Structure 1
Amino acid sequence: MNRSRWRHGALALVILLAATLLPAAPPAQPAVILATTTSTQDSGLLDDLLPLFEKQSGYAVKTIAVGSGQAIAMGRRGEADVLLVHSPEAEEALLADGAGIRRRIVMHNDFVLLGPPGDPAGVSKRGALEGFQRIAKTRSLFLSRGDHSGTHAQELKLWKAAGITAEGQPWYQETGQGMGQTLAVASEKKAYTLSDRGTYLAMRRNISLIILHEGDPTLRNVYHVIEVNPMRFPKVNGAGARAFADFLVSKVVQKRIKEFGIGLYGSPLFFPDADVPNVDAGRR
């Protein structure tokens, strides 16, 4: 009896060791298409997170970094598996029509109004709306992304709230590019622009723009992860999308997001929100 029990125990130990030492079976559908905003790419955050996800999960992520509007449009057409975006109204519309599911908050930073050190429009120490009004009144050059991104959507909301029709004005120019490229052009032309803080901090050593307005509650910039609905689009990798979304909101990754940027830039580029009670009530 004792010998039999020993044999069973030894067999169980061998099975346990084999399960521990042997690599897990690869996912049935290993490729995951992530459509995301350029700020997560330009800031370097994805370069920090994706290798860890791929190593742990066995999935290979193909990243398409575009404006949030374009990323959400890809999700609406079933051309991506999962979205990491920051355009709340467009996100809610995607969920309402059933193309997106399980919207979960990941993190936030904020938008900042940037301009040349000389500040010719005099926007420094003014509120966001008054700053935009000063840019229009002085006809100072403003560079817009013009790409239907989350940043572009926020900028248009600010112009509207300020009572300004900027589009079509000679002092208002659209780059049609991502945040990094727009910052480079604005720096070269000594123009004003609106940026997410993360991309600005990642690029500030290479551009001449400075922060002229920050801290306004209306400039909060929230990022959500949304899975594209595999019931609507059968080719969508639902398992891979769920694995990536779970990864982003996990405690280990939330801690990594909290620490990202401190060593290199002296300040975090994003602030994790998945574990903050009621931070995004009604939007998950």
Structure 2
Amino acid sequence: MASGFLKRLLPALILSATAMSVQAGESITLASTTSTENSGLFGYILPIFEKATGIQVKVVALGTGQALDVGKRGDADALLVHDRAKEEAFVAEGFGAYRKDVMYNDFVVVGPAADPAGIAAAKSTDEAFGKIADSGNAFASRADRSGTHSAEMRFWKAAGKNPEGQAWYKASGSGMGATLNMAAGVGAYTLSDRGSWANFKNRQDLKILFQGDPALYNPYGVILINPVKHPHVKKAAAESFINWITSEAGHQAIADYKLHGEQLFFPLKAK
């Protein structure tokens, strides 16, 4: 029984010890995805972290590609993003000290309720994207090097389609909210993370038409910007955040966040 108690207590002790090395009222800059901001997740979990540690988190919400660029310049202390291959390359290139798993959700394909491409009957994500391309119905793309955009491009490639330059392919060059607004305005299909869709109010005729394929799995990771490359990085404060969001307390906060009664993010054991 004692050993079980110590096992539960250890993460809190580590977090407390890290926080003690941080100056009171310190803040960190976290470059993260628009999905974590648009979904309302940060508005829920960051006050819990700030109350526990006294550390303020200033979020710069960007597409994952842009967030990684911010990290390469040393203009953030940590990243929370969702493009696993790019995250691992970022660390391998020395820009990140390490990466840890945080949570996951999934992507959904939304479109006009009439479903002119017939994707609701598709058996796979690849088939759904192939049907959209063959139909010529409008598709709204973020086209912003975000994690969502990277996933979209993988799906087109797997479907054997190249949408670039096609009249039906609409590039927003913006975040998820703006892209969903574009899709709603022109009756287009688009790929969205579930959290942003759940928090999106201007749906008009849009609805989820395809979901549930394992290919739509969407994991998020947290990265400490390498203080060797960028000595000004607030290592202790950033690690306090990383330790918290990958701890039982952080996982509970993530799991507790719900929108319209639906849990939007699911904790992953840190690796």
Query: Could you say whether these structures have the same fold, taking a TM-score greater than 0.5 normalized by the shorter chain as the test?
Result: yes
Q: Which has the higher contact order (CA 8 A, sep 6+)?
A: 2
Of 50, 63, 69 in structure 2, the residue corresponding to residue 67 of structure 1 is 63
Q: Deviations over 1:60-88 (max 9, x none)?
A: 22110000111111111111100000011
Match of 2:137, as an amino acid?
Answer: S
Amino acid at match of 2:268: D
Question: 1:25-57: CA deviations, max 9, x gaps?
Answer: 961781200000000000000001111222221
What are the within-5 Å matches in structure 2 for residues 157-236 of structure 1?
157-203=154-200, 206-236=203-233
Structure 2 residue aligned with 1:13 = none
Q: Percent same amino acid at aligned positions?
A: 46
Match of 2:133 in 1: 136
**More deviation, 139-148/210-219:** 210-219
The one-character-per-residue Cα deviations of 1:76-105 (angstroms, maximum 9, x if unpaired) are 111110000001111011010111122111
Q: 1:189 Cα shift? A: 1.2
- Helix, strand or coil: the match of 1:203? coil
**Structure 1 ranges of 4+ moved more than 6 A:** none
Letter in 2 for 1:272: P
- Counterpart selection for 1:109 from 98, 105, 108: 105
Against the structure 1 CA distance between its residues 152 and 207, is the aligned structure 2 distance closer, same or farther, given a 3 Å change threshold?
A: same
Deviation at 1:175, TM superposition (A): 0.6
Question: C-alpha distance in 2, partners of 1:133/1:217?
Answer: 17
TM-score between both structures, scaled by the size of structure 2 = 0.88
1:266 and 2:261 aligned: yes
1:252 aligns with 2:242: no
Q: Confirm or deny: 8 A CA contact 1:183 1:207 kept in the other structure.
A: no
Deviation at 1:204, TM superposition (A): 5.2
Rounded Cα–Cα distance in structure 2 between residues aligned with 1:224 and 1:143: 26
Alpha-carbon RMSD across the aligned residues, in angstroms, is 1.7
Gaps of 5+ in 1: 1-23, 276-283
CA shift for structure 1 position 125: 2.2
Structure 2 counterpart SS, 1:120? coil
Residue of structure 2 in register with 1:146 after alignment = 143
Q: Distance in 2 between matches of 1:103 and 1:152?
A: 21
**Alignment partners' CA distance in 2, 1:138 and 1:194:** 16
Partner of 1:123: 119
Question: Within the alignment, does 1:76 sit opposite 2:100 as a pair?
Answer: no
- Indicate the residue corresponding to 1:10 in structure 2: none
- In 1, distance between residues paired with 2:108 and 2:21? 45
Residue identity matched to 1:63: V
Deviations 1:187-235 (A, max 9, x none): 1211000001111112257543211111111110000011101111011
Change (3 A) 1:26 1:84: closer
Q: Deviations over 1:262-283 (max 9, x none)?
A: xx412100111127xxxxxxxx
In the alignment, is the contact (CA less than 8 A) between 1:145 and 1:174 conserved in 2? yes
Q: Which runs of 5+ in 2 are unaligned?
A: 1-19
Give yes or no for contact 1:34–1:84 (8 Å, CA) kept in 2: yes
Structure exhibiting the larger radius of gyration computed from Cα positions: 1
> Secondary structure of the equivalent of 2:74?
coil
Residue pairs, 1:270-281, within 5 angstroms: 270-274=265-269
Counterpart Cα distance in 2 of 1:128 and 1:204: 25
Contact (CA 8 Å) 2:22, 2:236: kept in 1 or not? no
Q: How many pairs align?
A: 251
On the 8 A contact 1:35/1:63 being kept in 2, the answer is yes
